[in-house]
Amino acid sequence: MKQAVKIKEDVYWIGVNDRRTRLFENYWPLPRGVAYNSYLIVDEKVVVVDTIERNKMEDYIESIEAVLNGRTVDHVIVNHMEPDHTGALRSLLGRYPGATVIGNVKTFPMLKNFYDISDRLLEVKEGSTLDTGRHKLSFYMTPMLHWPETMVTFDATTGILFSGDIFGAFGTLDGGIFDDELDLDYLEEEISRYYSNIVGKFGQPARLALDKLGKLPVRVICSTHGPVRRSTVSEIIARYDAWSKHETAKGVVIAFSSMYGNTERMADGIARCLAENGIRKIRVHDTSKTHPSYMINDIFRFRGVILGSCAYNTGIFPTMETLLGELEQIGVKNHLLGYFGNKSWSGGAIRRLEQFAGNVKWEVVHPPHEAWGAPKADDREACREIARAMAAKLHTLYPDEV
């Protein structure tokens, strides 16, 4: 039987772990699973804050009923309409038909379109409040983090910020619910990969939200994924601040696409030259093996990016095209770029990489190079020139960083 976990006074975590789903949003890999967090406030009025994905309904309802002991739910707050947080809504309202759904003006059309729910709705606006007895809840709009209807709920009584997808993470909550009960080092990549791939496109909305939420006396962050933060509130806010500014470290991500190994040889030569020129943080990815989410995560971390691809049917290799499309769509800023290619009988890769460089407007550190077939001595030297130019630029920008 699933058990609720008390967070503060009358506030409970009633979330679930999902270790079976392989892909988040049917795209992002979940090697460590994911948690769907929902919360329950038991006061004069009973409030559910966000629900869960519908495949864990039995555990979810058991947790609620165990806490309520026969009481009913009065309100359900919908901070974010995505089905991993509203999938249980219809079943919950079926169990508690007198509950009122709380959202904003942009929530309710989505509620109608997804679930055909249009009754017992309460619209809140920026700064609206809900008095549940002891708890005083207020609502703040955070549009495009990461849908247009998103908002957060702040409980002034406890200092809890119910932040929706903001400050979330991939990964299940294995025993611990709170940040100080968990091995955050183990979840490190899942925390940053969640931001870079789910939230990263929306850096400016994140800046606006941070400015707004910075005025609130937040003591606990309850997001809809990842740990409940009571010991690392300032740390995760600081990380969002840095990420939303596209701040990066001294390092290089090399991503390549290769059919017969020639482009990979060029990538390895570049990596070796970077190391010889004092760059320690080097991440090399084969786009045919590594999911874009991991490459994007590393690109968010490090300033330098070097991309290389073989030609494929007079164009670029499909897995490299996928990565380029993701990066263009996310709009990652403030990077240095180098690129190279390889062809057997026709080109195409360099042309697409050049287009990519123009689209993202990153600084190109050196003219590109394209080899024919197996890289020759002059090809290897051209690759080293790209590497040396990247290393020199990074040393200039980060003189005190190893």
**Domain range for 343:** 251-397
For residue 163, being part of any structural domain is answered with: yes
Q: Is the dihedral of CA 320, 326, 331, 333 positive or negative?
A: negative
Give the burial class of 44: count Cβ atoms within 10 A of its Cβ; 0-12 exposed, 13-18 middle, 19 or more buried.
exposed
Q: Is the pLDDT of residue 1 over 70?
A: no
CATH code, domain carrying 341: 3.40.50.360
| Whether 72 and 136 share a structural domain | yes
| Contact of 68 with 158, CB cutoff 8 Å | no
For residue 402, being part of any structural domain is answered with: no
| Whether 122 and 10 share a structural domain | yes
| Whether 23 and 130 share a structural domain | yes
Domain boundary among 205, 228, 244: 244
Quick one: pLDDT at residue 2?
A: 65
| Whether 219 and 305 share a structural domain | no
Domain count, the chain: 2
| Whether 139 and 168 share a structural domain | yes
128 in helix, strand or coil?
Answer: coil
| Whether 64 and 197 share a structural domain | yes
| Whether 189 and 162 share a structural domain | yes
CATH code, domain carrying 67: 3.60.15.10
| Whether 93 and 179 share a structural domain | yes
Q: Is the pLDDT of residue 146 over 90?
A: no
Structure confidence by residue, pLDDT tens digits, 148-171 = 999 999 999 999 999 999 999 999
| Whether 217 and 284 share a structural domain | no
Mean pLDDT, range 70-79, rounded to an integer: 97
Quick one: pLDDT at residue 253?
A: 98
DSSP state of 362: P
Domain boundary among 201, 220, 244: 244
| Contact of 54 with 88, CB cutoff 8 Å | yes
Structure confidence by residue, pLDDT tens digits, 168-226 = 999 999 999 999 999 999 999 999 999 999 998 888 999 999 999 999 999 999 999 99
Tell me the C-alpha distance between 389 and 252, whole Å.
12
Domain boundary among 210, 244, 278: 244
Mean pLDDT, range 241-261, rounded to an integer: 96
| Whether 237 and 264 share a structural domain | no
Tell me the C-alpha distance between 359 and 255, whole Å.
18
Quick one: pLDDT at residue 346?
A: 83
| Whether 255 and 211 share a structural domain | no
Quick one: pLDDT at residue 349?
A: 95
Q: Residue 168 is encoded by which pair of tokens? A: 């979330």
Interhelix angle 203-213/233-244, nearest 10 degrees = 140
